[in-house]
Amino acid sequence: MKLAGLLLAAAATLLAGADDTFLIRGIDVYPVTSKPMQGVSVLVQDGKIAEISAKITPPKGMKIVEGKGLRLYPGMIDSATNLGLQEVQSVRETVDTGELGEFMPQLRALVAVNPESEHFGAVRVNGITSAIALPGGGGGRGGGTQTIGGQAALIHTSGWTWEDMEISRSAAMQLTFPSMGGRGGRGGFTPDTVAELVGGDAGAAGGANARRQYDDAIAKINDFFDEARRYQKEKAAHAPGFETDLKKEAMIPVLDGKLPLAVSASTADAIHDAIQFADKQHVKIVIMGPREVGKAGAELKAHNIPVILGRALALPEHEDDSYDQAMALPNEFYKAGVKFAMGTFTNEFVRNLPYQAATAVAFGLPADEALKSVTINPAEIWGQADKVGSIEKGKWADLVITNGDMLEIQTKIEHVYVKGKEVDLTNKQTRLYEKYLSRQ
Amino acid sequence: MRKLFVLALGVLAPLGAETIVIRNATIMTVTHGTVKGSVVVKDGKIADVGEKVMEPAGATIIDAAGQYVIPGIIDCHSHIAADGGINEGSLSVSSMANIKDVINPEDISIYRALAGGVTTANILHGSANSIGGQTIVLKMRWGKDASLMIFEGAKPGIKFALGENVKRSGNPQGGGRGATPAVQARYPGTRMGVEDVIREAFTEAKAYKAEWDAYKAAVARGEHPMPPRKDLKLEPLKEVLEGDRYVHSHCYRADEILMLIRVADDYGFKIRTFQHVLEGYKVAKEIAAHNAGGSTFSDWWDYKMEAVDAIPFNATLMTRKNVVVSLNSDDAELMRHLNTEAGKAMKYGGASETEALAMVTLNPAKQLGIDNRVGSIDVGKDADLVIYDKYPLSDFAKVQKVMIDGSVYFDRDKEVSGLAAKAAEKQKLVDKLKQQQQQNGGRGGRGGRIG
């Protein structure tokens, strides 16, 4: 029975039709990077977008997809997941995020991605064709106690192996930035004034203590970076007695400003400190999961630092925050002129990425910006805009055909393509549905 | 300090219900289709609804042109407004504990739920025990005290729980989140034990009921017997046996759902609702035959082992098999957008618009036995109404106004326009405290005292 189930699951993920060359005809195209075009044709060749034109005459025998009355969007990108590395959140055996050790830049999320994870089947059908897979806990368990969790990968949500799924094996280095009274900006959200007031003397003393611990934690990170830089110099100078150190080796692209640090920071203060840190170390950063804009908006804009926003459907941080704080946050960042993309931070919610974006629209974000935040913006932030994120010639044919707005719950997803290959829209859940629907 | 800020935030409680006409709206009644027209609210009740209505003189007019009106959302599974813990986890049968005793009317989650269109919620004990504590149905009357939040006349309930959460305390290896050390292991540690705990409890409850029945029969015969000793653990279970208390049972897997149905059959009581019931679709036939309801999540899955076979089609599939289905939150955040969760029932499995909307309005009302009062827009029912700016089963919609008993408890325009004033009020309080602390020479603050 178990074996049969496994075989069934394996068979079902066989990508339907290996043919990655075809023509989509007469469809309304939403390229994201340019204005929508009505009733045009898109030629896909060897998995890539070869041509977009009002009329393309297909070679004889080419597969044609009729797109009349339908829409074509680029596949969506979730910028914070543990896809492939976490199956059942509460069962440690199924969780491969959150390795032991504090500074672990040499770890690569990509190599632990299980292409057969049931999550991929569940998210593909809603049009999510790629995702950042974080090595540290994006949410749920497996957070570990790391400061540097390892290298995050940008992956396709469909493929035979992790190599096949790879878009970028090293899209970012995950850094959990310390915060006052907590780590990763998860705790420590209390503004200084309130923290001091609430606690009185003891609070002030506690505040000083927390400040010292915080400064120590940042100093420790700086030390690690400084050591890595010394290593880099020794290596370049072929210093006598030089020995390879995989941790420091993994830091070189970060130090060279080629690989961004994905830094978790929730408060404006934490963001400010992260920017200071980045300036001091001359490294590139992306802020992960901020919960407020505040004075950080102008600073982020001035430094041209992008952010990855967490779920718009989240509770406010404090009792006295406005009820719609999280829903309105994307628009706040937009108004501040900060570039942002969206992430769900928990595998279970990846399939709701479009609905998170729509919620941001309900609370003020222009619809175009919402669409960008799940397509071209993440592609640019993760340095892969030449491959994914829009419908443009030369990019992977990561495509979604719908009967309406891709961000709307009521919209039907008709076809999904990853690298030009049509994705099977059945999954474990549709199979259970069909099976039990037929129970008499 | 925090409490002070919350008070500053709080919207003044509505004084008395006025006569209101909501005009030019698209009204989704749930029971008789969608009407373009007006709703008349009088004395806290729905007085009229239709394309053309008689507008009472002097009525307050709400122009809802382009907007949608639905019945107040009912959440059949919530833990908000319960002060402190919700799990009396020391015993496997904690039926003597009652959520009613710990209602905190100042929990900000109440206001947030309101802002998400929720007007009524079933507040449950936690799921640590096979038989948990007693439950209470509340209306989200923010600003009123606890006793005035209680839904008048709603039948009381009791929480049961099956599966992983219950087993956790009895797991010698520790059961993950919230696990107690093996030395404190508490029976049961398996699904077999869960069945036994429930059977043991109802064996006792039956004997207890028999004592009372014998006593009452003797009194009826004119005798003067000593009454049996009142047992606060068994009293609620006796009420379950007598049909005077609803059983809301937390469950995930098909096997345990079927087990509880058979236990209930054997002891002659009914399960009112299966809660979560993520594998309900596998035994929908048996659930329907027992006449139980199913109250589930739209698409939560895979967060624990017993949730791996959860499918987003569950709500629609159970509906197709004649189970009365509601979509609940079990979560202060999810609670705020149950309208989109209903929208997902249309996406996954193709529930009709009315079926989907009923899953968060009329169906939970039925499950809680309050559908004579709430759950649809019908003349004579409580004026618990939500106005959305757009089609409410879409993720692009947001709540504009929420009315309970004909009084507006949430108004987005006022909320937005009042933000600056609230911020100023907060700053004033902060300044005042700072000043006080300076006057005290930095001493005597709340944290200054030891002990």
pLDDT digits (tens, 9 = 90+) for A234-288: 999 999 999 999 999 999 999 999 999 999 999 999 999 999 999 999 999 999 9
The one-letter amino acid code at A194 reads: V
- Using pLDDT thresholds of 50, 70 and 90, give the confidence band for residue A233: very high
| Res A11 pLDDT > 70 | no
Give the Cα separation of B363 and B371 in Å (integer).
8
| Res A178 pLDDT > 90 | no
Q: Do A193 and B430 touch (CB under 8 A)?
A: yes
- Chain A nearest C-alpha distance from B448 (Å): 5
Taking alpha carbons only, the member of A333, A381, A393 closest to residue A74 is: A393
Complex ipTM: 0.91
Nearest CB to B305 within list A91, A327, A362: A91
Which pLDDT score is estimated for A218? 93
- Chain A nearest C-alpha distance from B355 (Å): 14
The β-bridge partners of B62 are: B22
Q: List the single residue in A with minimal CA-CA distance to B179.
A: A90
Which pLDDT score is estimated for B425? 93
- Chain B nearest C-alpha distance from A428 (Å): 8
pTM score, whole prediction: 0.92
User: Cβ(B168)–Cβ(B87) under 8 Å?
Assistant: no
Which pLDDT score is estimated for A210? 86
- Chain B nearest C-alpha distance from A119 (Å): 9
Q: Do B177 and A119 touch (CB under 8 A)?
A: no
Which pLDDT score is estimated for B168? 87
Burial B74-109 (b: 16+ CB within 10 A, else e): bbbbbbbbbeeebbbbebbbbbebbbbebbebbbbb
Residue B187 is encoded by which pair of tokens? 């029976």
- Chain B nearest C-alpha distance from A224 (Å): 33
Q: Do A437 and B320 touch (CB under 8 A)?
A: yes
Which pLDDT score is estimated for A254? 98
Give the Cα separation of A231 and A233 in Å (integer).
5
User: Which of B282, B308, B338, B395 to probe by mutation at the A interface, max A CB count within 10 Å?
Assistant: B395
Q: List chain A residues with CB under 8 Å of B298.
A: none
- Chain B nearest C-alpha distance from A437 (Å): 7
Q: List chain B residues with CB under 8 Å of A362.
A: 389-390, 395-398
Q: Does B286 touch chain A (CB under 8 A)?
A: no
DSSP string, A270-323: HHHHHHHHHHHHT--EEEE-----TTHHHHHHHHT--EEE--SS---SSTTS-T
Give the Cα separation of B200 and B88 in Å (integer).
19
User: Cα A225 to the chain's mean position, in Å?
Assistant: 25
Q: List chain A residues with CB under 8 Å of B333.
A: 313-315
- Chain B nearest C-alpha distance from A238 (Å): 50
Q: Which residues contact A68 (CB under 8 A, 6 or more apart)?
A: A25, A26, A27, A39
Q: List chain B residues with CB under 8 Å of A201.
A: 442-443, 445, 447-448
Taking alpha carbons only, the member of B59, B14, B58, B17 closest to residue B40 is: B59
Taking alpha carbons only, the member of A324, A305, A206 closest to residue A257 is: A305
B:139-178 residues touching chain A, CB 8 A cutoff = 176-177
Taking alpha carbons only, the member of A94, A76, A77 closest to residue A85 is: A94
List alpha helices for B54-125, DSSP H.
108-115
Q: List the single residue in A with minimal CA-CA distance to B352.
A: A410
Q: Do A140 and B8 touch (CB under 8 A)?
A: no
Which pLDDT score is estimated for A198? 47
Rounded average pLDDT over A32-42:
97
Q: Do B349 and A348 touch (CB under 8 A)?
A: no
- Chain A nearest C-alpha distance from B127 (Å): 17
Taking alpha carbons only, the member of A195, A205, A196, A207 closest to residue B438 is: A196
- Before B364, cis peptide (omega within 30)? no
Tally C-beta pairs within 8 A across A and B: 160
More confident residue, A398 or A198: A398
Q: List chain B residues with CB under 8 Å of A430.
A: 311, 313
User: Which of B302, B313, B323, B410 to probe by mutation at the A interface, max A CB count within 10 Å?
Assistant: B302
- Chain B nearest C-alpha distance from A33 (Å): 23
Q: Do A200 and B112 touch (CB under 8 A)?
A: no
Q: Do B395 and A407 touch (CB under 8 A)?
A: yes
Q: Do A200 and B305 touch (CB under 8 A)?
A: no
Q: Does B415 touch chain A (CB under 8 A)?
A: yes
Q: Does B395 touch chain A (CB under 8 A)?
A: yes
Q: Which residues contact B148 (CB under 8 A, 6 or more apart)?
A: B141
Q: List the single residue in B with minimal CA-CA distance to A204.
A: B447
Nearest CB to A319 within list B2, B389, B415: B2
Q: List chain A residues with CB under 8 Å of B311.
A: 429-430, 432-433
- Chain B nearest C-alpha distance from A367 (Å): 10
Pairing of strands A307-309, A340-342: parallel
Determine which of A20-29, A187-196, B70-79 has the lowest per-residue pLDDT on average: A187-196
Tens digits of pLDDT across chain B (451 residues): 344 444 444 444 455 579 999 999 999 999 999 999 999 999 999 999 999 999 999 999 999 999 999 999 999 999 999 987 899 988 999 999 999 999 999 999 999 999 999 999 999 999 999 999 999 999 999 999 999 999 999 999 999 999 999 998 876 555 444 444 545 689 999 999 999 999 999 999 999 999 999 999 999 999 999 999 999 999 999 999 999 999 999 999 999 999 999 999 999 999 999 999 999 999 999 999 999 999 999 999 999 999 999 999 999 999 999 999 999 999 999 999 999 999 999 999 999 999 999 999 999 999 999 999 999 999 999 999 999 999 999 999 999 999 999 999 999 999 999 999 999 999 999 999 999 988 876 554 444 333 3
B:176-215 residues touching chain A, CB 8 A cutoff = 176-177
User: Cβ(B411)–Cβ(A323) under 8 Å?
Assistant: no
- Chain A nearest C-alpha distance from B332 (Å): 8
Q: Do B303 and A319 touch (CB under 8 A)?
A: no
Mapping DSSP onto H, E and C, the string for A142-207 reads CCCCCCEEEEEEEEECCCCCHHHHEEEEEEEEEEECEECCEECCCCCCCCHHHHHHHHHHHHHHHH
Give the Cα separation of B140 and B310 in Å (integer).
30
Q: Do B333 and A315 touch (CB under 8 A)?
A: yes
Rounded average pLDDT over A143-159:
89
B:309-328 residues touching chain A, CB 8 A cutoff = 309, 311-313, 317, 320
Q: Do A351 and B437 touch (CB under 8 A)?
A: no
List alpha helices for B169-283, DSSP H.
191-220, 234-241, 254-267
Nearest CB to B442 within list A201, A319, A408: A201
More confident residue, A206 or A345: A345
Q: List chain B residues with CB under 8 Å of A408.
A: 394-396
Nearest CB to B312 within list A87, A358, A429: A429
Taking alpha carbons only, the member of A328, A329, A321 closest to residue B422 is: A321
Residue A188 is encoded by which pair of tokens? 């420590």
Average pLDDT of chain A to the nearest whole number? 90
Q: List the single residue in A with minimal CA-CA distance to B286.
A: A440
Torsion of CA A302, A306, A311, A317, to 10 degrees: -40
Residue B147 is encoded by which pair of tokens? 């006793």
Q: List chain B residues with CB under 8 Å of A324.
A: 115
Q: Do B302 and A362 touch (CB under 8 A)?
A: no
Q: Does B299 touch chain A (CB under 8 A)?
A: yes
Which pLDDT score is estimated for B173? 56
Q: Do B437 and A197 touch (CB under 8 A)?
A: yes
- For residue range A298-330, list pLDDT tens digits in order: 999 999 999 999 999 999 998 889 999 999 999
